[in-house]
Amino acid sequence: MESKVRAEATLASALAMQPKRGTTGENKANYLVAKNVLNEEMGGYGEYTVEYQLGQKTRDVLLVHGRQDAAHALCNTTSLLEHGAKASSQLRMLNFLGLTTVCLLGAIVFKLYARL
């Protein structure tokens, strides 16, 4: 039980220090939580008391599914990053077209105003 308390204290401390270090956002918080869980389950905060009684076949299946989940997460992340880059590019183009439109309308108004 002491390892659980140490793990929770370490996580709370890391999450509290996050804004002070200038790092914010859910991705950093998610990373800290995942790292904390891994360290806890690997015994980084003391004896981890939960023992899994699994057969070799079950262990192998769980390892394969874990790798499949990691690959799936990587593919999803890559797709999201590509989608974000595409949206950013489209917004840049839209900003350029908007600025060009405003400049052209300004020139037209200036020419018409000069005739009056």
pLDDT tens, residue by residue, 14-63: 888 888 887 777 778 888 888 888 888 778 887 776 677 889 999 899 98
Mean pLDDT of the chain: 87
pLDDT score, position 40 = 84
Neighbours of 36 (CB within 10 A): 19
Domain extent, residue 41, equals 1-51
Whether this prediction's pTM lies above 0.85 is answered by no
Q: How many domains does the chain have?
A: 2
**pLDDT band for position 90 (50/70/90)?**
very high
Residues 45 and 82 placed together within one structural domain of the fold:
no
Co-location of 63 and 116 in the same domain: yes
